[in-house]
Amino acid sequence: MMQKVGIVGLGLIGGSLGLDLRSQGLTVLGVSRQWATCERAIARGIVDQASPDGALLAEADLIFLCAPIAQIAPTLQALVPHLQPATIVTDVGSVKAPIVEQCSPLWANFIGGHPMAGTEAQGVEAGQRDLFAQRPYVLTPTDQTEPDALETLSTVVKSLGSRLYLCEPAIHDRAVAWISHLPVMISASLIESCLGESDPAVKTLAQQLASSGLRDTRRVGGGNPELGLMMAQYNQAALLRSLGAYRDRLDELITQIEQQDWQSLGQTLQLTQQERPHYLR
C-alpha cells in the first residue's frame, strides 16, 4: 500500500507531481539542495516535509528523481545509502536508455519514466496541479523490472490522469528523436539560416512579416498542397536559395552533434533561442 512518496528536485515537474499526489492524500517528502526551496515548497503545499538531507526519504515507498538528465544517476547514488530495498525509484528525464543503463546497476527497483508535459516556467514557483492530465507518460521497464513495482508505478501515473505508454528504453529514445528532438534541431537550423540572409531589406521584411504571425503559412502547411506546389513553381529561385542556406546550417549542426562539439551546439541553440521570436511563433 503506497503511503509515502519522495520527490528529489522541486521545480516544474517535481512540484507539479507533489501537488497532484498530496491532493490524493499521499504524504509527500521533498528533497532539494537549498533550504529556501524546501521552505517555499512546504509553504506552497507541494510537500508535507522537505530537507536537503536524503535521509528524509528513508521510509518512502516510491521516489521520483526530478533532477536534470546529467544529475539523475549521481543523485540516485547519493540517495542509495538512505533507502530500503523495497523502495521503487523512477526518474522524469526526457531520454531513457542512458539513464536506465546508469541507474539500474545502482538500484534494482529502478524504472525509467518520462512525463511529456511541461511549460516554459522553472523553479519552485512553477509547479501546478494537473500538469500531466491527458498528457503522455512513458515508462520504460526492462527484463529485470519487478512486475509488482511496475504495476504500482503504473497506478500512480494513471492517477495523474496521464496516458500511460510502456516500451523499451531504446524505443522511447528513437520515438522522441523523431517527434521532439529532431524538430528542435530543425527549428534551430531554420532560424540560423534566416539569420544568415545577407540582404538587409530581405532580412528586415522577413522579420517584420514573421513577427506579425504567419497565418497564411498555416493555410499552406496545414490545408493546401496545391498552394505549396504553386509557391515552389513560382518562387523557385528564392526558395532554392533559402533551402540551400538551410541545408548548409543543418549540415553544420549534424557535424557538431557527430563530433560532440557541445560548445558550438550550445552556442547555436542559445542564439536561435534568442532570435526565435523574430522568426517563429
The rounded distance, in Å, linking the Cα atoms of 138 and 114 is: 5
The backbone torsions φ and ψ at residue 42, rounded to the nearest 5 degrees and listed phi first, read -65, -45
Is residue 225 at the binding interface for a second copy, with CB under 8 A as the rule? yes
| Of the candidate residues 1, 81, 85, 201, the single one contacting a second copy (CB under 8 A) | 201
Closest distance of CB 173 from a second copy, Å: 5
Based on CB atoms, which residue is closest to a second copy, 155 or 267?
267
Which grid cell is 200? Answer: 538587409
Closest distance of CB 60 from a second copy, Å: 26
Residues from 94 through 133 that contact a second copy (CB under 8 A): 94-95, 98-99, 116-120, 122
Stretch that binds a second copy, among 26-34, 37-45, 51-59, 93-101 (CB under 8 A): 93-101
Helix axes 262-279, 236-258, angle to 10 degrees: 150
Closest distance of CB 255 from a second copy, Å: 10
Closest distance of CB 250 from a second copy, Å: 6
Residues from 179 through 198 that contact a second copy (CB under 8 A): 179-188, 190, 193-194, 197
Cβ 49 vs Cβ 2: under 8 Å: no
Show the site string, 205-224: x = touches a second copy by CB under 8 A, - = not.
Answer: xx-xxx-xxxxxxxxxxxxx
| Of the candidate residues 167, 248, 252, 275, the single one contacting a second copy (CB under 8 A) | 167
Distant-in-sequence, close-in-space partners of 20: CB < 8 Å, separation ≥ 6 = 129, 130, 131, 132, 159, 160
Closest distance of CB 177 from a second copy, Å: 4
Closest distance of CB 82 from a second copy, Å: 26
The rounded distance, in Å, linking the Cα atoms of 108 and 85 is: 8
Based on CB atoms, which residue is closest to a second copy, 55 or 239?
239
Indicate the burial class of 203 (C-beta count within 10 angstroms; 0-12, 13-18, 19 or more): middle
Stretch that binds a second copy, among 44-52, 56-64, 153-161, 232-240 (CB under 8 A): 232-240
Give the helix ranges, DSSP H, for 24-112.
Answer: 35-43, 72-79, 97-103
Cα 240 to Cα 48, 147, 227, 229, 243, distances in angstroms: 59, 54, 17, 13, 5
Three-class DSSP category at 83: coil
Residues from 240 through 269 that contact a second copy (CB under 8 A): 240-244, 246-247, 250-251, 253-254, 257-258, 260, 262, 265-266, 269
Residues from 26 through 65 that contact a second copy (CB under 8 A): none
The rounded distance, in Å, linking the Cα atoms of 167 and 148 is: 17
Based on CB atoms, which residue is closest to a second copy, 59 or 197?
197
Closest distance of CB 206 from a second copy, Å: 4
Residues from 137 through 156 that contact a second copy (CB under 8 A): 138
The rounded distance, in Å, linking the Cα atoms of 165 and 70 is: 24
